[in-house]
Structure 1
Amino acid sequence: MSQPLIGISTYQEEARWGVWNLPAALVPAGYPKLVQRAGGLAALLPPDDPAAAAAAVARLDGLVIAGGADVQPARYGAEPHPRTGPPALDRDAWELALIEAALAGGVPLLGICRGLQLLNVVLGGTLVQHLDGHAGAPGVFDRHDIKPVPGTLLGRTLPEPVAVPTYHHQAVDRIGRGLVPSAYAEDGTIEALELPGAYGFTLAVQWHPEAGDDTRVMDALVAAAREAAAVK
């Protein structure tokens, strides 16, 4: 059975290795490892001109938008909260363009943490800029329970409540056009969104499956990408 090609967004940061201290295109290794464990081929997508997003996505069988920095509040018509992090303007532009290209082309899409927030913003939604209780100490994942909504794509993928790795301080506020919440935390925070209908597989989760052992969310993306590749 063929291995579908799954693109993973990356971002530019100063990085140090060996004798070098240079700008690098980065993503935590847990992302490609999760794709590989689920049976996909992982391809890292370095930041590029947003105009190149459609061509890049057209070559993929599936797309993952990785977690990371806060989305610039101006993208959803808000002023920055004092606790909102510095904007990553180039990353916002590139990943928003990737999401738009995946939606336009029907390419299976999985958003993770920031990826969920960007999907919501692309479709006209807004974000809560700060909440407590969804992250551990700086650089340490917390865990909390999420409850999937029965009958949704996520509910079929994760049919029971599960404890998930989490590290975020922002979340969905107003839900974007056509999106359906498909999991909640105990405090009511939306933990997953999906887009039913003609767009194909479009799912986003607020937690970090790449930081845990449960591959089921990525399994579902890879299965959808394999089906999409078969009809190209």
Structure 2
Amino acid sequence: MSKPSIPLVAVTSDVRSFDNYTWHATPEQYLAAAIEGAGVIPLLVPSFGAAIDLDSVLATVDGVLVTGSKSNVHPSLYGKEPTTAHEPFDPARDATSLPLIRRAIELGVPLLAICRGIQELNVALGGTLATEIQELAERIDHRAPDTSQLAERFALRHPVLVKPGSCLAEIMETDTVQVNSAHRQAIDAPAPSLEIEALAEDGTIEAVSVKDAKGFVLGVQWHPEIWVKSDSPSRKVFTAFGDAVRAHRAARLSLAAAE
């Protein structure tokens, strides 16, 4: 009997320039969490915008992981004028990841969006973002501590309140989760099709799903990929994503076998 193959998951990539090369890359933590937490094989999708045939990508993989990044979604994509406070930008990623998000949702391909990913998810579906949220009234400082130590930078720092009866509540099996925080932008106006799944105590939107989605869609503002080995809530996010990916694959293979 042949061994069941491991599902493939498309992963977004940032465009970076160094050593006289242009690189399409993503931090290792996301890739390791996909392998160890979700039980899938991550494949990077280069950020070439319209040159990428998304239907071909999504016909090959059984999930999409939209990663965090130092860069921010360009404000012109949600109707605001860009300022230095919105920088840095990665227009090639925007041109690839936003259409990828929309198409994955249309086709019912499971999608997990983290940090920049939840912001891309919101913009892709028609929402807006706020920048420098630590300057807004009654908001806490969601930026990471100024340290190069990963454990300190991504330490679990504040609770998020999970909406009862939500997708996230089913995953977490609790109404409060302790999370890390490393962002200065956040969802402002949620897209009409988004369902708010969790809030920080200061009202910052920390998790969303998509209303009436054909498949699993979850966006989180924090970084579960960092502690997937040691923190139960972090692992539960990736386990739920991996389970959805395997279910999607099984349904796809069953349909193909019946044709």
Q: Same fold (TM over 0.5)?
A: yes
- Partners of 2:35 and 2:41 within 8 A in 1: yes
How far, CA to CA, are the matches of 2:54 and 2:131 in structure 1?
Answer: 27
SS at match of 2:43: strand
- Partners of 1:81 and 1:130 within 8 A in 2: no
How far, CA to CA, are the matches of 1:124 and 1:49 in structure 2?
Answer: 19
Please tell me the residue identity of whatever aligns with 1:66.
T
Question: Of the candidates 126, 136, 145, which is equivalent to residue 137 of structure 1?
Answer: 145
SS at match of 2:85: coil
**Which one has a larger percent helix, Structure 1 or Structure 2?**
2
> Which moved further from structure 2: 120-129 or 139-148?
139-148
**Superposition map of 1:90-109 within 5 A:** 90-109=92-111
Question: Of the candidates 203, 206, 220, which is equivalent to residue 221 of structure 2?
Answer: 206
Q: Does 1:6 align with 2:20?
A: no
Aligned-pair CA distance for 1:124: 0.9
How far, CA to CA, are the matches of 1:188 and 1:6 in structure 2?
Answer: 32
Aligned-pair CA distance for 1:8: 1.0
Structure with the greater alpha carbon radius of gyration? 2
Report the equivalent of 1:39.
39
Q: Does 1:121 align with 2:116?
A: no
- Partners of 1:58 and 1:105 within 8 A in 2: no
Please tell me the residue identity of whatever aligns with 1:61.
D
How far, CA to CA, are the matches of 1:58 and 1:97 in structure 2?
Answer: 15
How far, CA to CA, are the matches of 1:196 and 1:215 in structure 2?
Answer: 24
Please tell me the residue identity of whatever aligns with 2:28.
A
> Which moved further from structure 2: 108-117 or 213-222?
213-222
**Which aligned runs of 4 or more in structure 1 are off by greater than 6 angstroms?**
none
**Superposition map of 1:1-232 within 5 A:** 2-15=5-18, 22-37=21-36, 38-50=38-50, 51-68=52-69, 69-132=71-134, 133-138=141-146, 140-141=153-154, 143-160=157-174, 161-213=176-228, 214-232=234-252
**Which one has a larger percent strand, Structure 1 or Structure 2?**
1
Per-residue CA shift, 1:90-128, capped at 9, x if unaligned? Answer: 110110111011012110011111111111111111111
Please list every run of 5 or more consecutive structure 2 residues that lacks an aligned counterpart in the other structure: 135-140, 229-233, 253-259
How far, CA to CA, are the matches of 1:76 and 1:116 in structure 2?
Answer: 14
Please list every run of 5 or more consecutive structure 1 residues that lacks an aligned counterpart in the other structure: none
How far, CA to CA, are the matches of 2:18 and 2:170 in structure 1?
Answer: 40
SS at match of 1:166: coil
Report the equivalent of 2:138.
none
Cα RMSD (Å): 1.7
How far, CA to CA, are the matches of 1:29 and 1:110 in structure 2?
Answer: 16
Aligned-pair CA distance for 1:82: 4.2
> Which moved further from structure 2: 95-104 or 40-49?
40-49
Please tell me the residue identity of whatever aligns with 2:173.
P
How far, CA to CA, are the matches of 2:48 and 2:238 in structure 1?
Answer: 25
Normalised by the size of structure 2, how large is the TM-score? 0.83
